[in-house]
A and B are shown apart, each in its own frame.
Chain A
Amino acid sequence: MSFNLALVPRRDVSLIRQVLTPVVALLVALLIGGVIVWLMGRSPAKAFDVFLREPLTDPWALQEVLLKSTPLMLISIGLIFCFRANRWNIGAEGQFLLGGIFGGGVAIATHGLTGPWILPLMMLAGALGGMLYAAIPAMLRNRFGISEILTSLMLVYVAELLLDYLVRGPWRDPKGFNFPQSVPFTDAAQLQPLFEGGRLHAGFALALLAVLVAILVFRRSLFGFAVRASGEAPRAANFAGFNEQRITLVVFLISGGLAGLAGMIEVSGQVGQLRPGFGQGLGFTAIIVAFLGRLSPVGAMLSSLVIAVLLIGAESAQVSLKLPFDLTRFFMGLLLITVLAGESLNRYRLEFRKEAA
């Protein structure tokens, strides 16, 4: 006798089931995570407290969560355009860095000047930097048929080295004691807190705006339909006369533009200067965010917040519980697995079959 495990498609999936699935997936991931923490000899209850309760209840931490979710939201919304179209932009991290470099470049060039035009100019420059950088893999794919997965990924390392070169070379702060960093931005080049004594700035509102626009584009616009058609059935998109190369370029420009804007917001609103490593891998984390949100704008918004909670929780867990930061990465991977597994179990049901050998 041998046993077979088969996936049998379900006919209809109830709405309740669809809504509950991610919640159950999160609970399962918490349960497994709790066991791991327990095996490491720490109290799961304490870890839960630090990871989830504090970031959500402490007002200061809550602001940090929203700040952390801002770049994740912007980047993942952009990535949804690429991934829905079945174009694989893995290089959002690089586009994020270029956005920071372009936006920061404007801040450095206008150092000492004041005026309300500086921040908008930095935003435009940041978005433009991300777009130009994302255009490279798109055009290589269109012109030569080169896989955008490889080119966009490898350009991340080029962007990191470019940033390294700039802050150690031409853009190094002469008064910075030879540290690899640019001059600190003046107030005119920094996003200011929305309210007194707080840290939350206008970047979060921009991220929410991007979510709203993306919802409208995918629900109602011809362009959103063209993107989906191009990803789900390229031959049908061709039959509809949607230009494949133009779609490739446009989704990369959108995705790069939003990642670039996020990069500018990060250097202007959080870091306050250019320095190596300001990317923190957020461009890669946003890929997980996009898939956790099942490539929907609302989903990406929610999963940005969840991941931001985890990232903030991880920072305090390192301090208070001496839990390694890698545990957070592990937990993000775990969460992705449980969500995807839940998704599969929604569409299919497991069936054990006995079979005579």
Chain B
Amino acid sequence: MGPERIRLTGITKAFGTLKANDHVDLTLHAGEIHALLGENGAGKSTLMKMLYGLLRPDAGEIRINGQPVTLPSPRAARAQGIGMVFQHFSLFEDFTALENIAIPLDGRIADAGLRAEVEAKARHFGLAIALDRPVHTLSAGERQRIEILRALMQEPQVLILDEPTSVLTPDEAEALFATLESLASAGAGILFISHKLEEVRRLCSRATILRGGKVVAETDPRAVSAAELAALMVGEGVLDLRPVADHALGEPMLHLDGLSVAPEGVHGVTLRDIHLTVRAGEVVAIAGVAGNGQSELYAAISGEGGRITAGQIRMAGQDVTRRDINSRRRLGAAFVPEARLGQATLPQGPLSENIILSWHATGSLGRWLLDTVRTGAVARRVIERFDVRTPSSDPQAVQLSGGNLQKYVVGREIERQPRLMVVDQPSWGVDARAATHIRQTLLDLAAAGAAVLVISQDLDEAMAMADRIAVMHGGYLSAARPVPALSRAEIGLLMTQGESPARGAA
């Protein structure tokens, strides 16, 4: 083990009465890839923000290379050799990769000199980047490589990566791991935040596990199983899905027949000739790397957007291609969009009022004057039945944590007793316990006879839930294949290369 790069002792940070970090200790050595694990809200981001100078600790000490430091700003952190790659990219879409790299480098412009340096750096770490392409033409993996190169240009001794693989294909993730390993062997310390335990076990030699703001364990992730790591994060064994009883499949509830959709905006994806059938009682998942047309497909199915240029959408046997979202709801369909706040809910609206959004067409809430007694009762039922933890009896949507809000949104739709449920990213950014709860709820819904379509970037989720999986790539959808017969490698191949439409008729 190399010399000590970072030592955090007794770091404490409170927001009001909530202790986000409570006497956290963490040591990072040169050459080490150190995982920081924990559920959402466990305090990982708070800790990293203090290390990157975005927040200041209430108590505790930060030592870098043995020296106690204060980090009042990200600039100060960078001066101390700390680089950070954020979960959400901070790139200018219309600038080229090289220009984006030049922006945070004080006094540098995207000239030949910088290009030579960047190219040398990229070669050294095996990061392939087309430097002259505007960012909006690049894939998520390529964008992330820009972010990493940008951080590397400042010669960091410590690199923090916040959920770097959530948008990557398996191949791109492998390439990232190789880069990180060569960085570490060159003497940098790397802090790696991730929810994906398998990749942590593959990459990291130490792991610090946070729960409720406290360090609950420090361990060698390679020496314990993923299940043991998950149990440490969550605290108890709540992560397993309960298998549902065998049940017969019914009529096709959703049928896409040769659906083609024109893109919205310059960065949209064109959907081409999509075929898919979801029958009552069945869970079908659509996997794929984000940005390959899943959002467009969800919008076309729900009726929220998309200009359909060819093909047909049928629900419960009826042609709904030209009908709006509420006529689809009247046929028994329910939809959970990707964005919990601002799409599935009004952020400032109380939960009782947010019932109206998806219920007003079908829920007998009153034609002109709303029945507020009824919306309140429905909201209370959803809160009870789906274990939504709320700070008050009828809080605003924005006051709920991500997981609880997602439970509310999913529960609100299930309470409508749908015959077809379409869910875009059921557990994106939701902690493990809430994710399991939501997945179980959807499986039970299918077992009770509804057709369930799940669009998910999380391959583990898709494989755990679905009877059949189809993969989206470049606006094409592969044939849906039964899950037991499908290997991760096959899916990975479909995610990166797709399936030629000629072969897709299986």
Contact digits for A212-252, partner B, Cβ 8 Å, 1 yes 0 no: 00001000111101001100110110111101000000000
Knowing A225-B353, A225-B356 are in contact, say whether A241-B342 is a contact too (CB < 8 A).
no
Contacts of B346 in A (CB 8 A): 228-229, 232-233, 236
B370 touches A236 (CB 8 A): no
A236 touches B343 (CB 8 A): yes
B343 touches A356 (CB 8 A): no
Contact digits for B356-369, partner A, Cβ 8 Å, 1 yes 0 no: 11101100011111
The answer for the CA separation of A236 and B367 in the assembled complex, in Å, is 20
Contact of A220 among B72, B329, B369 (CB under 8 A): B369
A235 touches B366 (CB 8 A): no
Contacts of A235 in B (CB 8 A): 337, 339, 342-343
The answer for the CA separation of A312 and B72 in the assembled complex, in Å, is 55
> Which residue on chain B has the smallest CB distance to residue A357?
B72
Knowing A11-B16, A220-B370 are in contact, say whether A239-B304 is a contact too (CB < 8 A).
yes
Residue B191 at the chain A interface, CB threshold 8 Å: no
A239 touches B357 (CB 8 A): yes
Residues 325-364 (chain B) with a chain A CB within 8 angstroms:
325-326, 329, 335, 337, 339, 342-349, 353, 356-358, 360-361
B356 touches A232 (CB 8 A): no
Residue A355 at the chain B interface, CB threshold 8 Å: yes
Contact digits for A336-357, partner B, Cβ 8 Å, 1 yes 0 no: 0000000000000000000110
B325 touches A241 (CB 8 A): yes
Residue B372 at the chain A interface, CB threshold 8 Å: yes
A232 touches B348 (CB 8 A): yes
B325 touches A239 (CB 8 A): yes
Residue B171 at the chain A interface, CB threshold 8 Å: no
Which 5 A-B residue pairings sit nearest by Cβ, starting from the closest?
A: A241-B326, A240-B357, A235-B343, A241-B325, A233-B342
B358 touches A240 (CB 8 A): yes
> Which residue on chain A has the smallest CB distance to residue B341?
A233
Contacts of A221 in B (CB 8 A): 368-370
Contact of B72 among A225, A240, A355 (CB under 8 A): A355
The answer for the CA separation of A222 and B367 in the assembled complex, in Å, is 7
Residue B305 at the chain A interface, CB threshold 8 Å: yes
B342 touches A236 (CB 8 A): yes
Residue B324 at the chain A interface, CB threshold 8 Å: yes
B361 touches A241 (CB 8 A): yes
Knowing A222-B360, A232-B346 are in contact, say whether A238-B305 is a contact too (CB < 8 A).
yes
Contacts of A356 in B (CB 8 A): 70, 72
Contacts of A223 in B (CB 8 A): 368
Contacts of B347 in A (CB 8 A): 232-233
Distance in Å from the Cβ of A221 to the closest Cβ of chain B?
6
Contacts of B348 in A (CB 8 A): 232
A229 touches B357 (CB 8 A): yes
Interface size grouping (class) on chain A: 20 to 34
B343 touches A222 (CB 8 A): no
> Which residue on chain B has the smallest CB distance to residue A225?
B356
Distance in Å from the Cβ of A218 to the closest Cβ of chain B?
11
Contacts of B356 in A (CB 8 A): 222, 225, 240
Distance in Å from the Cβ of A181 to the closest Cβ of chain B?
44
Tally of contact residues, B, Cβ under 8 A: 35
Residues 233-284 (chain A) with a chain B CB within 8 angstroms:
233, 235-236, 238-241, 243
B337 touches A220 (CB 8 A): no
Contacts of A239 in B (CB 8 A): 302, 304, 325, 335, 337, 343-344, 357-358
Distance in Å from the Cβ of B61 to the closest Cβ of chain A?
17
Contacts of A216 in B (CB 8 A): 369
Contact of B343 among A225, A228, A233 (CB under 8 A): A233
A222 touches B365 (CB 8 A): yes
The answer for the CA separation of A172 and B365 in the assembled complex, in Å, is 55
Distance in Å from the Cβ of A128 to the closest Cβ of chain B?
23
Contacts of A225 in B (CB 8 A): 353, 356, 360, 370
Distance in Å from the Cβ of B455 to the closest Cβ of chain A?
15
Contact digits for B363-382, partner A, Cβ 8 Å, 1 yes 0 no: 00111111010000000000
Contacts of B370 in A (CB 8 A): 220-222, 225
Contact digits for B175-190, partner A, Cβ 8 Å, 1 yes 0 no: 0000000000000000
13 further interface pairs, Cβ-Cβ under 8 Å (given A220-B370, A236-B346, A239-B325): A221-B370, A225-B356, A228-B346, A232-B346, A232-B347, A232-B348, A232-B349, A235-B337, A238-B304, A239-B337, A240-B356, A240-B357, A241-B329
Contact digits for A88-128, partner B, Cβ 8 Å, 1 yes 0 no: 00000000000000000000000000000000000000000
Contacts of B345 in A (CB 8 A): 233, 236
Contacts of B339 in A (CB 8 A): 235
Contacts of A241 in B (CB 8 A): 303, 324-326, 329, 361
Distance in Å from the Cβ of A245 to the closest Cβ of chain B?
12
Contacts of B305 in A (CB 8 A): 238
Distance in Å from the Cβ of B50 to the closest Cβ of chain A?
16
> Which residue on chain A has the smallest CB distance to residue B348?
A232
> Which residue on chain B has the smallest CB distance to residue A232?
B346
Contacts of A238 in B (CB 8 A): 304-305, 343
Contact digits for A41-77, partner B, Cβ 8 Å, 1 yes 0 no: 0000000000000000000000000000000000000
The answer for the CA separation of A235 and B302 in the assembled complex, in Å, is 13
